């Protein structure tokens, strides 16, 4: 990704690696439209990175490379922590999604989302951008904050789950305490913070 500065006409002036103090907040991501001559110049039977080779070559050879700056929500979800942030942003409204519509949502507040088909005990507490998927069960007195509970997972009574993913079909026992983890039926993997 790196930094991609543009001039006032939108013409890309450079492709720069990530830096501590970036000169711009624009990056290279998205869809590309090439003239056929550019595609034909890419070597066949050779693996190349258009981001690291083709684009910089075009710019250094004064080719016409333009960027479109979009102000919609974008997040690099290349780490579990970032993926969890993206999920929280969808729940809290920082990011929008057409997938969250009345036909598949049971309850949606600014703090949590419960999909139709999920069962959440009325004494359970959900907050921090938590999402409870269809078929999941949340027991009495459970407290889930900032987590994604996938379909058909079970959160036992009085359990505490924070900043975690609970995979489809996983079972968290009563009174368990889980934090910053990916939970399957067979293991608990820490999410680096």
- Of 148, 81, 82, nearest to 115 (Cα)? 148
Sequence-distant (6+) residues with CB within 8 A of 111 are 91, 92, 126, 127, 128, 129, 130
**What 3-state class would DSSP assign to 135?**
coil
In angstroms, the first-to-last Cα distance of the chain is 22
Q: Is 14 exposed, middle or buried (0-12, 13-18, 19+ CB in 10 A)?
A: middle
pTM of the model: 0.75
CATH 2.160.10 positions along the chain are 80-190
Alpha helices in 61-109 (DSSP H): 80-92
DSSP character at residue 117 = T
For residue 182, CA distances in Å to 4, 48, 96, 119, 159 come to 34, 34, 25, 21, 15
pLDDT at position 185, please?
Answer: 87
Phi/psi for 56 (5° steps) reads: -60, -40
pLDDT at position 139, please?
Answer: 99
pLDDT at position 170, please?
Answer: 97
User: Tens digits of per-residue pLDDT, 43-66?
Assistant: 888 888 888 888 888 888 888 888
pLDDT at position 1, please?
Answer: 53
pLDDT at position 112, please?
Answer: 97
Task: Please state which CATH number belongs to domain 80-190.
Answer: 2.160.10
Tens of pLDDT, residue by residue, the chain (193 residues)? 578 889 999 898 888 877 788 788 887 777 788 889 989 988 888 888 888 888 888 888 888 888 888 888 888 888 999 999 999 999 999 998 887 777 899 999 999 999 999 999 999 999 999 999 999 999 999 999 999 999 999 999 999 999 999 999 999 999 999 999 999 988 999 998 7
Angle at 64 between CA 62 and CA 66, to 5 degrees: 125
pLDDT at position 183, please?
Answer: 96
């Amino acid at each position: 990704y790196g930094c991609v500065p543009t001039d006032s006409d939108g013409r890309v002036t450079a492709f720069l690696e990530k830096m501590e103090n970036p000169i711009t907040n624009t990056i290279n991501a998205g869809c590309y439209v090439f003239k056929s001559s550019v595609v034909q110049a890419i070597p066949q039977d050779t693996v190349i990175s258009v981001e690291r080779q083709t684009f910089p070559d075009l710019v250094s050879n004064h080719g016409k490379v333009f960027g479109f700056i979009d102000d919609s929500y974008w997040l690099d979800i290349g780490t579990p922590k970032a993926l969890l942030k993206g999920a929280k942003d969808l729940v809290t409204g920082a990011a929008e999604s057409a997938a969250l519509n009345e036909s598949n949502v049971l309850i949606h507040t600014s703090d949590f989302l419960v999909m139709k088909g999920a069962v959440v005990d009325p004494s359970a507490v959900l907050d921090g951008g938590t999402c409870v998927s269809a078929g999941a069960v949340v027991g009495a007195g459970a407290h889930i904050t900032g987590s994604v509970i996938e379909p058909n997972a079970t959160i036992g009574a009085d359990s505490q789950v924070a900043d975690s993913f609970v995979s489809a079909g996983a079972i968290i026992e009563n009174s368990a305490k889980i934090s910053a983890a990916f939970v399957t039926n067979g293991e608990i993997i820490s999410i680096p913070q």
